[in-house]
Amino acid sequence: MHTRLSSLKETIQSAVKSKRERAVRYDPAQASALVTGLLFFALLAVAFFTGAATESLKFFHPVSILFTLFWSFVFGALVLILPRRAGRWVFLVLYLALLIYGTAQYIYFKIFNKLFPFTALSNLHEGAGYMGASISYLGPLQAACFLLLLALGIYLFFRIPRIAPLPTGTRIALLPTALAALVLAQILLPRAYGPKTEYAVWNSFEDPRYVYDNYTNPQKCMGLCGYYQFLGVDFYHCFIRPLRTDNTQAQAQLQQFFEDYPSGHTDNDMTGLLKGKNAILIMMESVDYLAVSEQNTPTMWKMMQEGINFTNYYSSIFGDGATFSNEFVLNTGIYSPSNGAASYSFIRNSYSESLPNLFRAAGYSANSFHQNHSWFYNRGLMHKAFGYENYYSFYDWTDDREEVIRDTFLTRTPEVLDLVLSRSDGDDRPFFSFFITYSSHLPYVYDGELEPYAYENYVRPGETLAGREDLDCLMAKTRITDQMLQELLDAVDENTVIICVTDHFAYGLEEQTLLETKGEEWPLRQNTPFFLYCKDPDFTPMQVDKLCSNADFFPTIANLFGLGVPDNLMGHDIFDPTYPGYVIFSCYAWLTDDAYWHDEVYKEFGDPLSEEEIHDMIEYTFRRIECNTYLLESDYYKK
């Protein structure tokens, strides 16, 4: 027994001695340097991760490395000059904010093929309900990188107190030195992109300086200057540039644009065709051609075949919030801006020549309807700004979400249908009603919010739809919208026109599904339904194959109803014989009958375009998108 105790004692003593020896060998300075190095490595890694995940690195410019180093120096200096316990909390908050924001940009890019601006955060509440569906876009590699970077940040949070305190003089001088270096970088580094250019020309998309100065392509901008400088550029264009906008200069630019590209309207055979008729505008959520067929949506199919059907209509997504951005252009003829959330940033603008205001000027009533609350996308105030007399939410009648997200709530709630059809006592005005559907909204999973109801009520037992979960769910939920249209047709008379237009393609489908069904080019996926239908026996069916977009919707409807088409719009009346038809996309891509252009992708379908014609179209696209922003920032239509 004594021998065993002695042996145990010797083992313990040996272990303690070994630990002391290791402690003696521990070098605080070396550990401090290691943690400091890891801190800067983590900041650089987050910037690289964001650039790689959003595919911005394909536009890489060496200047981006310098900008990222300078910003990392500032962030690191801020952490190091503080007491260590305070510094680690500042690091954690800053690091997590940069990592999460960068990851959110990746997810948004996967869905919309573009990056979102700071102003999109004002819509954060609106998107919170779809957080689960959004996270599903995080790929395995990106998820692994995110978790590794998160683990590194947490590790540094606990190790930062090990960093040796800086001498007083160094601590005082470090942050001012870092900031001075960053300010100097702001002045000097952009010169490496080339000389400054004031106006867009046909090849401005290739000019790094023009892209950086004018923020025409956020993804390319990030590649040129790095993630952290990109945040600064985005902040400037969202919040500072609008304050510095010279309305006189903006008005001059607009005047020159409208002189170079006249947009005056010429009456044609379709002018006033529907004059005096009631109008119900239905903006259909995610109703994609993939879900529309004679078998799946018989009512829509009938309306397309027996109405006016625009087969080559594109719902170009501009700005943030795909549904509201389309809502904005349909009502105003102006695209939602890329540097601001239109539902909040431009609520004080004048929309005196909006579609509802044109209808009201012609003696119509104008009201809007949707399932969601008035605060969602600020619709209660924004629709009043558009010119609607009232915005009605289905929640005004019930708190049962299961009921309001079914589009048939509109037709199966007598009080709502009476308002849509303006059956109020004493109001004999013709009516213009605007309804935004919801039932086809993402996500598209069998156990989703609306899918079980759709399958139980609209899919026969054993019926095969597409054979893949996402498409099955889209098709099933679109049948709810189709049923609503059938019930609405039963309720309206021959003097009422139903206008159906999709807000955006079903981008919530799996990427593999979209690749196989709609192709690789993201802009070209945006071909969506737009059709009009009227029960009037004299209403002549028509198929319109001319290329057109949501910017053309407003002037076309105004022409059909004889409301007068305002001058100086970005879009055109589709029936105007002088308008050849084309589509402009937010990424500066364009589509004509003969060709499609998007950065380095150029495809020809018909007669070859000359180099001059290609250059002219590129320049027109750049100037049009630039002037669209001027229209909003200068409040051009204010009287």
CB atoms within 10 A of CB 525: 21
Residue 63, classified by CB atoms within 10 Å of its CB into exposed (0-12), middle (13-18) or buried (19+), is buried
355 in Cβ contact with 558 (< 8 Å): yes
Mean pLDDT of 534-548: 97
End-to-end alpha-carbon separation of the chain, Å? Answer: 104
> How far is Cα 524 from Cα 496, in angstroms, rounded to an integer?
33
Q: For residue 2, name the pLDDT band (cuts at 50, 70, 90).
A: low
> How far is Cα 278 from Cα 497, in angstroms, rounded to an integer?
6
- Among 355, 356, 375, 379, smallest CA distance to 551 is for 355
594 in Cβ contact with 604 (< 8 Å): yes
Q: Give residue-wise pLDDT tens across range 449-463.
A: 999 999 999 999 999
The pLDDT, as a whole number, for residue 24 is: 42
Q: Give residue-wise pLDDT tens across range 581-603.
A: 999 999 999 999 999 999 878 99
Mean pLDDT of 505-531: 95
SS (H, E, C) 460-498: CCCCCCCCCHHHHHHHHHHHHHHHHHHHHHHHCCCCEEE
Amino acid at 146: F
Sheet harboring 278-284: ordered strands across?
390-393, 365-370, 431-436, 278-284, 496-502, 530-534, 308-310, 542-544
The CATH number of domain 259-267+282-633, selected from 3.40.720.10, 1.20.1050.10, 3.40.50.300, 3.30.360.10? 3.40.720.10
Please name the helix (run of DSSP H) or strand (run of DSSP E) that holds residue 373, with its range, or none.
none
Pairing of strands 583-584, 590-591: antiparallel
* Token digits of residue 614: 């290609």
> How far is Cα 205 from Cα 586, in angstroms, rounded to an integer?
13
The pLDDT, as a whole number, for residue 197 is: 79
Q: Considering only 17-31, 71-85, 335-349, which range has the smallest mean pLDDT?
A: 17-31
Alpha helices for 26-167 (secondary structure H): 28-53, 63-80, 84-112, 124-127, 131-135, 140-159
8-state DSSP, 436: E
Residue whose token pair is 């290691």 = 34
Pairing of strands 542-544, 496-502: unpaired
The pLDDT, as a whole number, for residue 26 is: 45
Q: Give residue-wise pLDDT tens across range 293-323.
A: 999 999 999 999 999 999 999 999 998 789 9
> How far is Cα 32 from Cα 13, in angstroms, rounded to an integer?
30
The pLDDT, as a whole number, for residue 609 is: 92
The pTM of the full predicted model, rounded to 2 decimals, is 0.86
Q: For residue 201, name the pLDDT band (cuts at 50, 70, 90).
A: low
* Token digits of residue 200: 């867009």
Mean pLDDT of 539-550: 97
> How far is Cα 552 from Cα 615, in angstroms, rounded to an integer?
23
> How far is Cα 248 from Cα 541, in angstroms, rounded to an integer?
47
Q: Give residue-wise pLDDT tens across range 556-589.
A: 999 999 999 998 899 999 999 999 999 999 999 9
Amino acid at 419: L
Q: Give residue-wise pLDDT tens across range 126-151.
A: 666 666 677 878 889 999 999 999 99
**Which segments of 400-446 are extended strands (E)?**
431-436
Mean pLDDT of 338-360: 85
The pLDDT, as a whole number, for residue 204 is: 76
Per 3-state DSSP, the chain is made up of helix, strand and coil in percentages (nearest 5) of 55, 10, 35
The pLDDT, as a whole number, for residue 1 is: 52
Q: Give residue-wise pLDDT tens across range 353-405.
A: 999 999 999 999 999 999 999 998 889 999 999 999 999 999 999 999 999 99
The pLDDT, as a whole number, for residue 3 is: 58
Q: For residue 633, name the pLDDT band (cuts at 50, 70, 90).
A: confident
226 in Cβ contact with 47 (< 8 Å): yes
Contacts of residue 555, defined as CB under 8 A and 6 or more positions apart, other chains included, come to 265, 333, 565, 566, 569, 571, 572, 573
204 in Cβ contact with 197 (< 8 Å): yes
